[in-house]
Amino acid sequence: MNIAHSASRRALLGALTLPWLVGGCSTPLPLTPPPAGDADAATRLRESVQAHGLDAYLQLTDINLSYSGEWRPLVNRIQPGVVDAGFRGSSQERLMPRAGIIAQAYTGPMGRKHVVWRRGGRDGRGDGVCDVAVWFNGTPSTDTTVQDAAALVAEGYGLFLLGPLWLAERNLRMRMAGTERVDGHTCDVIDVWMTPGLGRVATDRVALCIDRTDGLVRRVRFTLEGLASTRGAVAEVDTFAHERRFGVMWPMRSHERIVHPIALPAHDWRITGLDVNRGYAASDLSGASFTGAAAAPARSI
């Protein structure tokens, strides 16, 4: 055994079990007060929203997906509540964008996990009600940490999938923040303050890297304030292999990494099924499994 390597690994794991807010003073996305507004940033975001297919997106009553992916082993050691390796394998996911609903049905070695998340209102305000429910093998969980993690993950996946479309009608403050190279693409960076944030938290900060050539969001960098064990951390998701289906641009492959307090690859996933506009009701997503027209698997692609 390499003793030095083993000791270094133990030290790394020990450091990462500390509250991540310890490194908050050096975070790349500090939760400073938001700017008054930036007209150039607002214009750039509107252009990206159009590039992603806003007109078609507004015609979608429901979005039905399946995902397959792999988590990196060390991430499960650091954040087992987020990874939830026993349950979060492949998934079937249902979104009703106008209603602010995301439902996720995971299958893993320990069985089934089902999540239903509703953001109160299209702009994040609405009736002020944000609900999350979690079931493991059909049994509801009342653990608030489990619920917080599920809400953070659910809303995060809405953002990763839809990029600027997920933000288009929210109450946002933003500013231009320079340029960045992402997978060979020159991107304009827009810093966005989300209120409410991702999941059950008042505020998160997001940086969108928008391709100067085609207006697509190639990278999303974001804070993770919605869960006590991840506060102060920053992660980012790169999206690849975009395809236009049903008039909307979809990232068919994605890669997530932690960027603060340490750089670490986290998760790779891909869309394996997609269809839209089945016409089901919110009640078909409200229980421990999908019902009615929501029940069939997403159409394989």
The string of pLDDT tens digits covering residues 190-200 is 999 998 899 99
Specify if 10 maps to a domain. no
End-to-end CA distance of the chain: 45
Give the CA angle between residues 46, 47, 50 to the nearest 5°: 90
What is the DSSP-derived secondary structure letter of residue 300? B
Q: Strands 111-118 and 185-194: what pairing?
A: unpaired
What is d(CA 301, CA 269) in angstroms, rounded to the nearest whole number?
A: 15
Structure tokens at 87: 């349950």
The string of pLDDT tens digits covering residues 122-160 is 444 444 456 999 999 999 999 999 999 999 999 999 999
pLDDT > 60? residue 7 = no
Specify if 190 maps to a domain. yes
Specify if 78 maps to a domain. yes
Specify if 5 maps to a domain. no
pLDDT > 70? residue 22 = no
What is d(CA 37, CA 212) in angstroms, rounded to the nearest whole number?
A: 21
What is d(CA 238, CA 230) in angstroms, rounded to the nearest whole number?
A: 20
Nearest C-alpha neighbor of 247 from the set 91, 55, 78, 95: 55
More confident position, 23 or 239: 239
Q: Which residue has the tokens 């697509």?
A: 216
Specify if 277 maps to a domain. yes
Specify if 218 maps to a domain. yes
* Structural domain containing residue 33: 23-289
The string of pLDDT tens digits covering residues 228-259 is 989 999 999 999 999 999 999 999 999 999 99
Task: Report which secondary-structure segment, H or E, holds 57.
Answer: helix 54-57
Taking residues 42-58, report their average pLDDT: 97
Residue 69, amino acid: G
What is d(CA 151, CA 197) in angstroms, rounded to the nearest whole number?
A: 11
Q: Do the beta carbons of residue 192 and residue 207 sit within 8 Å?
A: yes
Specify if 204 maps to a domain. yes
- Integer-rounded Cα Rg, in Å, for the chain is 19
| Predicted local confidence at residue 249, as pLDDT | 98
What's the burial of 139, exposed, middle or buried (CB within 10 Å: 0-12/13-18/19+)? Answer: exposed
Give the CA angle between residues 228, 265, 11 to the nearest 5°: 65
In terms of DSSP H, where are the helices of 98-216?
144-162, 164-167
pLDDT > 80? residue 61 = yes
The number of domains in the chain is: 1
What is d(CA 106, CA 134) in angstroms, rounded to the nearest whole number?
A: 11
| Predicted local confidence at residue 25, as pLDDT | 52
Specify if 157 maps to a domain. yes
CATH number at residue 261: 2.50.20.10
Residue 165, amino acid: L
Which range scores top for mean pLDDT: 1-10, 15-24, 190-199, 211-220?
211-220
- Number of residues that this document lists for the chain: 301
Q: Which residue has the tokens 């009701």?
A: 281
